[in-house]
Structure 1
Amino acid sequence: MSQAILEGTRVISLCSGIAGSAAGLQLGEAGAEVVMVEPPDNPARKQPALFAVLNRGKRSVVLSLENTADRQQLQQLLASADVLLHDFTPAQAQAHGLADEQLAADFPRLVISAIGGWPQRHALANDIPHETLILARLGLLDEQPAHRSGPAFIRMPFANWLACWLCVIGVMARLLARQRDGKGGIAHTSLAQAALVPMTMHWNRAETPTAAFAKGLDKHIPIPLHRCADGHWLHVHYSPDKSPWMAAALSELGETEVARLNGLWPPSHVAPNFGANRAIIATRPAQEWVEHFWQHDVAAQIAAPFGDIYFDEQARVNGYVVEVDDVQLGKTLQPGAAWKVHPPARTGASAPLMGEGNAALLDALVEIQPTQSQDGPAPLPPLHGLKVLDLGAYLAGPFACMLLADLGAEVIKVEAPKGDAMRRLERIFSGTQRGKLGVALQLGDRQTGPAVEALARWADVVHHNMRLPAARKLKVDYDSLKALNPQLLYCHVSAYGASGPRADWPGFDQLMQAACGWEVEQGGEGQAPMWLRFGVGDFFAGLSSLYALLLGLYERNRTGVGQMVSSSLLGATLLSMSEAVMLEDGSLTPVAHMDANQTGLSDDHRMYQCSDAWLVVVALQEDEALRLRTLTDGQPDAYFSGLSRQVALDELARRRIPAQPVLEAQMDAFLDSPEHAAAGLHAHYGHEVYGDMQQIGAFWDFGDLPLSLHRPPPALGQHTRQVLESLGIAGSELDHLVSTGLAALS
């Protein structure tokens, strides 16, 4: 078997949360040796299914960081390591002897990634790093629609999963910079930055916005989740009107009745006959509809119960579900790797027994030898010099390429002369495009072939999320471009994965949420399913593709050989189900369900409505829960409803019960906040159409290495002439392409 990409890399993990533990899993499955350092009473082991998934393939060392001798052993472990992962606040890290400055002095080649609650330069950096508290404080619980008015609890820990991907991307970017510069350093991120990833679609401001930009996308737009005749719910993406059954039914209803049914609902941006579709879909069972839609290229999925996806053929054949014989749980089905590279991911064996690596690892340690830090060249962004050709559309592909630009790559976005399909949703489009040079060029035409070939020869990386049959038709598939550029790294994001019966089917974030059970869980017990508005599947897929791409780049630096790497919406969304595994008897390990009112998971972890506003309590420790019950006399709803929010928060703080206000309508407040600005969470630039533009800023802190956040999203065709002429396309040839509609200039 060929050497795994990160074989020979040692990772020390001091993580207790999902994000850091999952980051260790990703690095381990790329070949790294991951040593989890856990306390003697590790609370993570109280969630056996989640622990089994997140820690498979790792080695366990038990150390108490309160003990001087154990801290010294940790220092010796770090002397042997390439990467340190931890999820301590800055104050906790300082207390454990793990402050950035000290680590950099002691271990100059060490890559350090901390996943805090908030960025380390933020005023809230030392607050309790719990996702629900952070979502409440940012105002994101108010961004999710509910069955009732007001904010909604969010069942999926999406910020933790996004933070996992940000962490491993940051680590890989630092490892690549270490190859260039000869030294390590920090690659920090946070749950708050991860939570803001999907808000790039929504939280943008402009000095001179167009009407479409100013409108944005309202959270109350109806989502095409339709109840079928058998009571199951079906999520349909885009209009199903041309499918034979739907077309016949619409015709039978007639224009007057179709208009009446449509008038019962607000307009939908994805389905012009939303109301009529809803009435028609209610006449047949869900399975009949979904099979019919699939036969006619309509993207649809049944909103399945949590866990059903473990039996899905498409998930199994792509390795998104794997069999693991766990030492505690026995034979299980678990989420597998969400990405494909060569050499391939290696599914780890059982999660370790506590302390099973103490003897072998600690006995082999040697005394720490002082290392002299060497001054290197002037600091450059981690991916400075990387050349990226972005052929993607919608969200997953373009967002990944935007982050490559943030990390210092030069990114050229190619879109059709009529524009990316997402340009009509201007604010969403802008949130995935900053940092790029924009070229408007028609792919697949003989006359534009020389320009496309020049772009392919220029690029180190091609990235896109179009369906592969379309890529082959346009002659931008891997085989076509590899013939022009043999060292090319080609990264593809699919909907359902590269193999299996649905390999080339259309798919969208909403459908993966439906298939993986998250829409059922977000709806609340006994309620209709609900889409999690944050587009998490798109962002999971885009970020996991970026991790695969950086692994491929790391491998190419070693071998000189390019390759095709990939990820998918299905694989990346399925990984977020790691809190439950399928046991040998076919049963699913228990999961916590949200209440019917969509306020939370238990009295100790939920939102409460006070007399004037909402707050959220996260009393997950036994002593915190006891203090909450004592305070409220076991009647928390009655207690909080009789108090103003500020009075309630003051009393909760006095009793050391973790809580936060559930802030609402926060876009402007976020973009006006000096605290967020000081932490690097804002980005400003001038836009050709919108004037001064403000967006969400940095997703990482690399310390001495800068990010590149200075270039606004491109207007359509803004850089067509600049880019193509720099690649040798004559001005007269370009003018001809423009005159024939095969290229466009802004």
Structure 2
Amino acid sequence: MKNGVLDSLRVIEFCEGIAGSAAGLQLSEAGAEVIKVELAARPFRRKGALFSVLDRGKRTVSLSSFEELLTLLSGADVFIHELTPAQASANGVDDDSLRRLFPSLVVSAIGGWPQRHALAEAVPRETLVLARLGLLDEQPGHRTGPVFVRMPYANWIACWLCVVGVMARLIARDRDGRGGAAHTSLAQAALVPMSMHWSRAESPTPVFAKGLDKHIPIPLHRCSDGRWLHVHYSPDKAPLMAQALERLGPDEVTRLNAACPESHVAPNFGANRNIFATRPAQEWVEHLWQSDVAAQIAAPFGAIYFDEQAKANGYVVQVDDPLLGKTLQPGPCYSIEPAARLRGPLRLHSEDIASIEVRSPTPAVADTPPCDLPPLQGLKVLDLGAYLAGPFACMLLADLGADVIKVEPPSGDAMRRLERTFSGTQRGKRGVALKLGDPATQPVVEALVRWADVVHHNMRLPAAHKLKIDYEHLKALNPTLLYCHVSAYGPQGPRADWPGFDQLMQASAGWETAQGGEGNPPQWLRFGVGDFFAGLSSLYALLLGLYARNRTGRGQMVASSLLGATLLTMAEAVALDDGSIRAVEVLDSAQAGVSVTHRLYLCGDNAWLAVAALEDDEAQRLLTLLGADPGVWFLTRTRNQAITQLKRHGIAVEAVREAQLDAFLDDPLNAAAGLHAHYPHPIYGHLQQVGAFWDFADLPLALDRAPPALGQHSREVLMQMGFDDVQQQRLIDAGLLRA
């Protein structure tokens, strides 16, 4: 593993979009040889600085035909592509053909929709997928109605789903002797954050039924210098805020609070807003940091490249790009040994296929019977995390077949107060309610650690040391342990142990400013993307560690962070040598789109549609059709009339659906594609949630266990670890165990 964990692997990447190209980058910087191919007859449309980042360090080759692609695939370990099932079949690279020709090859197709979905042949464009799913209506805006989502978050999540699926399939290949599918899609990626929101219960509690409405007030406060500050949870105990509240007096605080919507995170939301307006943002944020209150200024887009914490962790790297000169770009966003590293800048010139060394195919084990177990069946995981990023990663391990034991305090994970959100990150696990850090429970913790292959958590490391669940303590108990930690700001630098949350990373990276729209106040992207990026990147690092351990027998600590994973999504806005940020598309003030050809339009019947004419000739046809005033063109037609005419001219368009929670969960097309999951729950009765995020074809996923009730499996798990009823009851009586 001289060049990285994957240094023996060859990856063929046939991708034009963000998701597949970013997946190839992740595999490349983990050590794989990645060869990006395109057809000479139809070269890829790669524009802007984004692909200087996503294609850096890869070999590129221009092919004359799919026959030449098959020649390359004969010696490859992984093939990533964006072809629809019909396109793949027409060109001889469908799953059945590849399985027959190259039985050890791992294949990941990233479509717009799952391969088993009725929309599998639809053009894979994110805005259209979000419109069809109804997710543009889930994002709050400065106006009523659905809004354009500026961050291509589904593409970035699909990148991580792809590489996690590939790693899971490679690990299964070690077990089974065969390759196979590890497919995902933009639709499945877009649904990842909706696991927090889109679920139904037969007997919901009032809290579960309420969920989190998209209109809840977000604590973005304007300061005296006009800058905006995002504060997570109540700032009331910070001295400056406490003094100001006291000066206002209870009657005035009550009056100011009544003038603003009620906040579930800040009881004095209205008064806080008034007080924050009295001082500049930098003064406030430094004071809040000193008071251990998580906060960030909503920064300009791309300013994060100059953040000392980002640089300290290698999340920002200098790259001498052949087109842009010296640039600052996102670096690897996780840590592992051997370390992920850059493989060089973008290569401008394609190689001839004759220059690619011919490799013999990895042999399949011919006499191994077909395996119908999930990819990670048998992996034992101890989940010590809370809130979202850590538990979500462990939920995906359970989806992939791992046996996951979640340990939370007897009072419950702090996220349980948001019941629907909590349930969306916990399925598949066995739940134990145990107090950590008490001498009486230490034998149970030690038994769990000896049982586990993996320990995963996202608490701050000083707390982990205090509870004796840091890596050094646990490695002494289990030397081959894989220990995975998710932090807010990364393991190095002055903010290594600071609290942080998704919203704050969106603020510091500039995404809140970008989502607000030109000239508007910043706005949080409701989908909680930073948490999911961090959880998925930690899962990728963990599976790299598992792949390495299967070869070396050595455990290790791996890590990821909200800051690093969110910063990766800034790739379209690299910093140039003069300190400026490369220009990017700007969301308009109406939050409707970034151009005439990529935006939402309101039609004459008060219905919205989305247009994504991203090909040059397609965009020109659209502009010709719409004429001088595109808005009038749409307002003089009903949505159905507009869609009919646009499709007749070959324009990619989709109706923007609204209020889709029940419609999504009732849709038989989604059910047929595996996008629903159902199971009995001890409190909620029949529970329905968002389903599969991958399709492994011949290997199943484990989507048959509901999220655990508090302490639901405490007795079962402790009995398995060797603690009898008397020992368990002693812990229960002491308030250290809940069962």
**1:653 alignment counterpart:** 647
Once the two structures are TM-superposed, the CA of residue 349 in structure 1 deviates from its matched residue by: 0.4
CA distance in 2: counterparts of 1:279 and 1:502, whole angstroms: 28
Distance 1:578-1:212 versus aligned 2 partners, 3 A rule:
same
**2:141 alignment counterpart:** 146
More off after superposition, 651-660 vs 664-673: 651-660
CA distance in 2: counterparts of 1:367 and 1:506, whole angstroms: 50
Is 1:430–2:427 an aligned residue pair? no
Is 1:231–2:226 an aligned residue pair? yes
Runs of 4+ in 1 over 6 A off after TM superposition: 366-372
Confirm or deny: 8 A CA contact 1:76 1:368 kept in the other structure: no
* SS of aligned partner of 1:213: helix
TM-score by length of structure 2 reads 0.98
Once the two structures are TM-superposed, the CA of residue 631 in structure 1 deviates from its matched residue by: 2.1
More off after superposition, 321-330 vs 405-414: 321-330
CA distance in 1: counterparts of 2:46 and 2:154, whole angstroms: 21
Once the two structures are TM-superposed, the CA of residue 71 in structure 1 deviates from its matched residue by: 2.2
Confirm or deny: 8 A CA contact 2:75 2:360 kept in the other structure: no
* Aligned partner (choices 322, 329, 349) of residue 324 of structure 2: 329
Once the two structures are TM-superposed, the CA of residue 492 in structure 1 deviates from its matched residue by: 0.2
**2:381 alignment counterpart:** 388
Confirm or deny: 8 A CA contact 2:132 2:656 kept in the other structure: yes
CA distance in 2: counterparts of 1:437 and 1:39, whole angstroms: 49
CA distance in 2: counterparts of 1:290 and 1:554, whole angstroms: 42
* Aligned partner (choices 659, 666, 671) of residue 665 of structure 2: 671
CA distance in 2: counterparts of 1:197 and 1:383, whole angstroms: 20
Distance 1:641-1:74 versus aligned 2 partners, 3 A rule:
same
Once the two structures are TM-superposed, the CA of residue 622 in structure 1 deviates from its matched residue by: 2.3
CA distance in 2: counterparts of 1:357 and 1:557, whole angstroms: 36
More off after superposition, 541-550 vs 327-336: 327-336
CA distance in 1: counterparts of 2:366 and 2:587, whole angstroms: 51
* SS of aligned partner of 2:440: helix
Encode CA deviations 1:207-256: one digit per residue, 9 max, x unaligned.
00000000000000000000010011000000000000000000000111
Distance 1:504-1:616 versus aligned 2 partners, 3 A rule:
same
* SS of aligned partner of 1:413: strand
Once the two structures are TM-superposed, the CA of residue 359 in structure 1 deviates from its matched residue by: 4.2
Confirm or deny: 8 A CA contact 1:336 1:347 kept in the other structure: yes
More off after superposition, 263-272 vs 246-255: 263-272
CA distance in 2: counterparts of 1:445 and 1:459, whole angstroms: 20
CA distance in 1: counterparts of 2:732 and 2:44, whole angstroms: 60
CA distance in 1: counterparts of 2:367 and 2:113, whole angstroms: 31
Give 1:297-446 correspondences, 5 Å limit: 297-356=292-351, 358-361=353-356, 364-365=357-358, 374-446=367-439
Structure 2 gaps of 5+ residues are none
Encode CA deviations 1:439-488: one digit per residue, 9 max, x unaligned.
00000001111111111111000000000000111111111111111110
Confirm or deny: 8 A CA contact 2:435 2:737 kept in the other structure: yes
**1:12 alignment counterpart:** 12
The one-letter amino acid paired with 1:339 is Y
The one-letter amino acid paired with 1:6 is L
The one-letter amino acid paired with 2:648 is R
CA distance in 1: counterparts of 2:180 and 2:521, whole angstroms: 48
**1:636 alignment counterpart:** 630
Confirm or deny: 8 A CA contact 1:21 1:55 kept in the other structure: yes
**1:123 alignment counterpart:** 118
Encode CA deviations 1:28-48: one digit per residue, 9 max, x unaligned.
010000000023377656424
* SS of aligned partner of 1:526: coil
The one-letter amino acid paired with 1:556 is R
Q: Percent identity?
A: 68
Once the two structures are TM-superposed, the CA of residue 626 in structure 1 deviates from its matched residue by: 2.2
Confirm or deny: 8 A CA contact 1:45 1:51 kept in the other structure: no
Is 1:565–2:555 an aligned residue pair? no
Once the two structures are TM-superposed, the CA of residue 14 in structure 1 deviates from its matched residue by: 0.1
TM-score by length of structure 1 reads 0.97
Is 1:73–2:65 an aligned residue pair? no
CA distance in 2: counterparts of 1:196 and 1:570, whole angstroms: 22
* Aligned partner (choices 443, 448, 454) of residue 450 of structure 1: 443
Confirm or deny: 8 A CA contact 1:326 1:349 kept in the other structure: no
More off after superposition, 646-655 vs 161-170: 646-655
CA distance in 2: counterparts of 1:229 and 1:733, whole angstroms: 59
CA distance in 2: counterparts of 1:367 and 1:411, whole angstroms: 38
Is 1:690–2:684 an aligned residue pair? yes
**1:67 alignment counterpart:** none
CA distance in 2: counterparts of 1:301 and 1:369, whole angstroms: 49
More off after superposition, 134-143 vs 2-11: 2-11
Distance 1:285-1:147 versus aligned 2 partners, 3 A rule:
same
Once the two structures are TM-superposed, the CA of residue 721 in structure 1 deviates from its matched residue by: 0.3
Distance 1:378-1:349 versus aligned 2 partners, 3 A rule:
closer
Confirm or deny: 8 A CA contact 2:679 2:687 kept in the other structure: yes
Once the two structures are TM-superposed, the CA of residue 379 in structure 1 deviates from its matched residue by: 1.7
Confirm or deny: 8 A CA contact 1:182 1:376 kept in the other structure: no
CA distance in 2: counterparts of 1:357 and 1:346, whole angstroms: 26
**2:153 alignment counterpart:** 158
The one-letter amino acid paired with 1:660 is E
Aligned residues: 738
**1:171 alignment counterpart:** 166
* SS of aligned partner of 2:679: strand
The one-letter amino acid paired with 2:158 is A
**RMSD, matched Cα:** 1.4
Encode CA deviations 1:69-120: one digit per residue, 9 max, x unaligned.
x322211110110000001111111122211100000000000000000000
**2:576 alignment counterpart:** 583
Once the two structures are TM-superposed, the CA of residue 627 in structure 1 deviates from its matched residue by: 2.1
Confirm or deny: 8 A CA contact 2:197 2:420 kept in the other structure: yes
Once the two structures are TM-superposed, the CA of residue 611 in structure 1 deviates from its matched residue by: 2.2
CA distance in 1: counterparts of 2:652 and 2:176, whole angstroms: 43
**1:51 alignment counterpart:** 51
Once the two structures are TM-superposed, the CA of residue 587 in structure 1 deviates from its matched residue by: 1.7
The one-letter amino acid paired with 1:462 is V
Is 1:261–2:256 an aligned residue pair? yes
Distance 1:376-1:232 versus aligned 2 partners, 3 A rule:
same
Distance 1:380-1:370 versus aligned 2 partners, 3 A rule:
closer
CA distance in 1: counterparts of 2:72 and 2:707, whole angstroms: 44
Once the two structures are TM-superposed, the CA of residue 140 in structure 1 deviates from its matched residue by: 0.1
The one-letter amino acid paired with 1:170 is G
**1:219 alignment counterpart:** 214
The one-letter amino acid paired with 1:8 is S
CA distance in 2: counterparts of 1:586 and 1:210, whole angstroms: 53
**1:525 alignment counterpart:** 518
